[in-house]
Structure 1
Amino acid sequence: MTDNPFGGEGFGGLDMNALLQQAQQMQADLQAAQTELAEATVDGTVAGGAVTVRLTGVGDLIGVDIKAGQFDGGDADDLTDLGDMIVAAYRDAKAQADVLASQKLGPVAGGFSDLGSGDAGSLKMPGIDEEH
């Protein structure tokens, strides 16, 4: 028999084994979500597809596509416009990557709110979390 340093069946009825199992499951879920994001890709496009930027789900830039015939490499204004379009396409792709990350990681992060329910008991500390 292992002695619980918090006394009794758990500190305030908290089942430490259940809490540990839940934390391990959340860690595994988080790692799986991060792997999915690293493998996912999103595209940001501007000017009817003149410029497309590809990012991973974690926001790493992996490609830039520029439609042929859209820009004159000898014209300074065209090159400035091209630079601006690349930035705009990146921002579009980054916004999509952020939404994807929120969708993948949101359920995992939401698990923290579940720690006070189910078999794990309540994490409220007497005298600290009491409503006044």
Structure 2
Amino acid sequence: MTENPFDALGGAGGFDMNALLAQAQQMQEQLQGAQARLAEETVEGSVAGGSVTVTLTGVGDLVGVAIAPGSFDGDSAEDLADLGDLLVAAYRDAKAQVEQLAANALGPLGGGLPGLG
């Protein structure tokens, strides 16, 4: 059998592998550019009126933690447990912002190649 397996996709002129590869390469470059821009962005998450603030990059790396002066004694286990809970909450706040930032930056690139099912 010497049939071309791509004939079923539209015949000799209906499927251009080079165009498909070029489109995939362009999408990859756009994705890499968007990821590089995200890595340069920062977002802050804070709780308790700014008592605890964390800073993440646009790709989710933790780059800073700030605790407002006078917010915590740290003399008791309960105070430290509360601080830990606030750190987690501030991180989750920032992480949600990172996810939204990524969805906005990468959203158009997540749809795949046009014309493919």
* TM-score normalised per structure 1: 0.77
Is residue 2:19 matched to residue 1:18?
Answer: yes
Q: Between Structure 1 and Structure 2, how many residues are aligned?
A: 111
Q: Deviation at 1:115? A: 2.0
**Structure 1 gap segments, 5+ residues each:** 117-122, 125-132
Q: Aligned to 1:91, what secondary structure does the other structure show? A: helix
- Aligned runs of 1:116-127 on 2, under 5 Å? 116=115, 123=116
In the alignment, which residue of structure 2 is the partner of 1:115?
A: 114
Q: Aligned to 2:114, what secondary structure does the other structure show? A: helix
In the alignment, which residue of structure 2 is the partner of 1:85?
A: 86
Matches of 1:100 and 1:14 in 2, distance apart?
36
RMSD across aligned C-alpha pairs, in angstroms?
A: 1.9
Contact 1:19-1:115 within 8 A present in 2 as well: no
Could you list the runs of 4 or more consecutive aligned residues of structure 1 that deviate by over 4 angstroms after TM superposition? 5-8
Q: Deviation at 1:56? A: 0.8
* TM-score normalised per structure 2: 0.86
Percent identity for Structure 1 against Structure 2: 63
